[in-house]
A = this chain, B = another copy of it.
Amino acid sequence: MTIPRGDSYLLEGIEMRPAEIEETRKLRIFDGVGEKHLLDMLRPAFLQRFPAGVELVREGDPADFLHVVVEGKVEVFSAYRDRETTVSVLGPGQCFIMAAVVLDRVYLKSARSLTPARILLLPADVVRRVFSDDAAFARCLASDLAASYRMLVKELKNQKLRTGLERLANWLLAHREEMGGANRFELPFEKKVLASRLGMAPEVLSRTFASLVAYKVKVKGAVIEIGDVPALTKLARPTATIDDPAT
């Protein structure tokens, strides 16, 4: 299967219908933004559908659009030499490449749809204009950027201070929490992607999972069962300033 570039889809993009505008206006980043400015941004926006596996954004390209995931999953990644690493996996309500849009710079990361997805595309120049004109929006962006910054600091610490085993153990605990505390859950994406997110080769992830059986972690396909949370926690040693999303 050939992977189509996002561009071809963009060209077919259509403007949003009133119902769609209603649906998207309550996204977190628009909190407190004036009616007029909100419409200024949404009117020229596209709500675009993409199949799975499409490259939405390419590292090094100028930032044309602020992207907001409305539906589906998006992998944000970066390549260097023959290597590639995934920086994050985003779901509905999350937006990406805000920093590049605000500063009118080039994208630092690429993005592809992991599943069929609906993405809201806000033209960058309009976003920047509203950023200049609407103080509430500027504050929204600042808060959002601050939160993203903190997430990234945590991720950097996760990478520099932990081994692969520790990263996996902590990821499992964090994801369990996200899933409402169930001790049995399905992986939200392929193991290959998880490996890249955790900063290891897929083969290494396999082996690391294997070494977690000693801590009663069972893996059957995409289904994980955590048999002994205290034991896994003792291994993982989660810490608020890395693992607590609320901190």
Contacts and interface: CB of A to CB of B under 8 A. Distances in A.
Given A108-B154, A156-B155, A159-B159, A146 B145 contact: yes
Contacts of A138: 135, 138-139, 142
Interface residues of A, number: 50
Given A102-B142, A132-B139, A142-B138, A87 B247 contact: no
A150 B241 contact: no
Contacts of A106: 240-241, 247
Contact of A150 (B83, B105, B139, B155): B105
Interface in A20-51: none
Contacts of A199: 160
By secondary structure, the A interface counts as helix
Interface string A91-118: 0000000111011011111000000000
A247 B239 CA distance: 33
A83 B242 CA distance: 14
Interface of A: 59-60, 78-81, 83, 85, 87, 98-100, 102-103, 105-109, 131-132, 135, 138-139, 141-143, 145-150, 152-157, 159-162, 199, 237, 239-242, 247
17 contacts: A78-B157, A78-B241, A80-B239, A81-B161, A83-B161, A85-B157, A85-B160, A85-B161, A87-B153, A98-B146, A99-B147, A102-B142, A109-B153, A138-B142, A142-B142, A148-B149, A160-B199
